[in-house]
Structure 1
Amino acid sequence: MDTSELDQLNTILDRDSELREKIKDQVNEFDKRARTMVGLLNRIHVTPTSAMPDLLDSLNPVLDDCKELVGSIAAVIPPNQFWRWKDLWSNSLRTAVFAVVLAEFLKTRNLATLSAVSDRLGIKEEWKDRVSLAIEDYLHGIISVVNELSRLAVNSVTLGNFEEPLKISAFVKDIFIGFSMLNLKNDPLRRRFDSLKYDIKKVEEVVYDVSLRKLASLPTMAT
């Protein structure tokens, strides 16, 4: 290689390194907010039903910060380079998806759709070549919610909320059926899906115990 070519390559490498650092700075801030939401949601295991709306409302300011940071990330990504850089924020985004999907279930007992989660996180359609919510990241977030709900099923009984395991059971079984219909070729995602059967079994054991003790009635499962 001649000197001019080496100089050109070094310029490209320096530019990429500088861009990577800019992206990482924004992603680190986003990750902090995502972990803050998880910390707030950890309180659901010790929060009575009457106080749950206030707890979920406390997520809103953090979500607003997340939306701003997603915009900051999109602003530094060059056009058509989404797949080149997405691994930098993938784990943080899955954490944020987990928070949004879990909060939506606790509020409405429904599953937040891919588009609804994207909207809640401020991800705009016109950014799809720079920042987008990949399907696998959305699905990983949902699986994490099921993991958390199996724990909540147990802890809600401790708090005297005997109907909650029934609602959780209906929801996680519906999730499992939906995943069963997907053609999952992503090995990590497939392995995590296979683990859902253990979460469902855990929830079913709680439901059985609650029903056996006549603390809740099985016909009230549908909500």
Structure 2
Amino acid sequence: MSNAEGEGCPRSRKPDNAPPQRMKDPANPSAVLSAFKTFQLELDTKHDKYERLVKLSRDITIESKRTIFLLHRVTSVPNVEEVLAEADAKLDGVRVKIGQIAAELRGEDLFQFHRAFTAGLQEYVEAVSFLHFIRHRSLISLEELNSRLLFLNDSDAKQGASEALAFQVTPTDYLLGVADLTGELMRMCITSVGNGDIETPFQLGHFLRQIHDGFAYIGNTGPYEVSKKLHTLKQSLAKVEDACYALRVRGSEIPTHMLAHVFSSRAAQIDADDRVS
């Protein structure tokens, strides 16, 4: 037996006349590569839209907070209507931003991008409901809130179209905004007492109890984020009720200029007790 036969079958050799292998033309990608390029384009488009919505939400949050800070001045200025008119103008600017969100979401699934702008919507709900309470001493409804969020697209307006963009605040965003409102009402209560206003704290206490009863009715059956804010709501209610109790029992004993300091100290004590418990 020869060495070649002992080493096994010889390796197969390419025939001399076999055509050379051709390199794949990068100008003609395969179907898989083409599909992935399509996916990349879709994801980049979605990411860019998401970032634009985040920026709009940040602008809405900032302007809504400024409106809330402005509204706290109603307890110390002689012309309340002037402050409310300025707050209306600021909220009109906020609604322009919400209209831009509505334009971005045209033809899209709202809940795919909801996380990008939910913080701004909650702050807007808080500002609008705070203004509504100052004017009417009641809670604005979700239906009334959404009725103000109808926008005419610029391109439609130029073409004379009557169809408007409608943006709807979700029930969860509405509830979260109302829960945050209770903290502003608690601050308004302390400020009112410091300015010698004895009636407002009792109005706020009654209103906060109604809101608390409503949230208690929802209980743990509502969204998780809502149940998380129930503790903060209870804290705000406890502080206002404590202030009302002190006004009713010891109001005549405490000098007017000392009331705000006394109630702020008692509110801080309530916070400390909650942390201990």
Same fold (TM over 0.5): yes
Spell out the pairing of 1:40-189 with structure 2 (5 A cutoff): 40-44=70-74, 47-48=76-77, 50-122=78-150, 131-183=167-219, 184-189=221-226
Cα distance in structure 2, aligned partners of 1:39 and 1:122 = 26
Q: Answer whether contact 1:37 1:96 (CA < 8 A) is retained.
A: no
Cα distance in structure 2, aligned partners of 1:155 and 1:33 = 22
- Give the one of 26, 35, 44 matched to 2:56: 26
- Give the one of 33, 36, 44 matched to 1:3: 33
Q: TM-score, normalised by structure 1?
A: 0.83
Count of equivalent residues:
211
- How far does residue 196 in structure 1 lie from its aligned partner after superposition? 2.0
Cα distance in structure 2, aligned partners of 1:122 and 1:51 = 31
Would the alpha carbon gap of residues 78 and 123 (structure 1) be closer, same or farther in structure 2, given more than 3 Å must change? Answer: closer
If you compute each CA radius of gyration, which structure gives the higher value, 1 or 2? 2
Would the alpha carbon gap of residues 13 and 207 (structure 1) be closer, same or farther in structure 2, given more than 3 Å must change? Answer: same
| Alignment-derived partner of residue 44 in structure 2 | 14
Q: Residue type matched to 1:143 in 2?
A: A
Structure 1 stretches of at least 4 aligned residues deviating more than 4 Å after TM superposition:
121-124
Would the alpha carbon gap of residues 122 and 52 (structure 1) be closer, same or farther in structure 2, given more than 3 Å must change? Answer: farther
| Alignment-derived partner of residue 195 in structure 1 | 232
Q: Residue type matched to 2:132 in 1?
A: E
More helix by share: 1
| Alignment-derived partner of residue 249 in structure 2 | 212
Would the alpha carbon gap of residues 21 and 198 (structure 1) be closer, same or farther in structure 2, given more than 3 Å must change? Answer: closer
Query: Which whole-Å deviations, capped at 9, do the CAs of 1:38-80 have from their partners, x for residues lacking one?
Result: 3323434x524x4333222211111111222222211121424
Per mean C-alpha deviation after superposition, the further-off stretch among 31-40 and 168-177 is 31-40
Q: Residue type matched to 2:227 in 1?
A: R
Q: Residue type matched to 1:135 in 2?
A: P
Q: Answer whether contact 1:147 1:199 (CA < 8 A) is retained.
A: yes
Per mean C-alpha deviation after superposition, the further-off stretch among 26-35 and 158-167 is 26-35
Q: Answer whether contact 2:204 2:240 (CA < 8 A) is retained.
A: yes
Cα distance in structure 1, aligned partners of 2:223 and 2:150 = 26
RMSD over aligned CA atoms reads 2.5
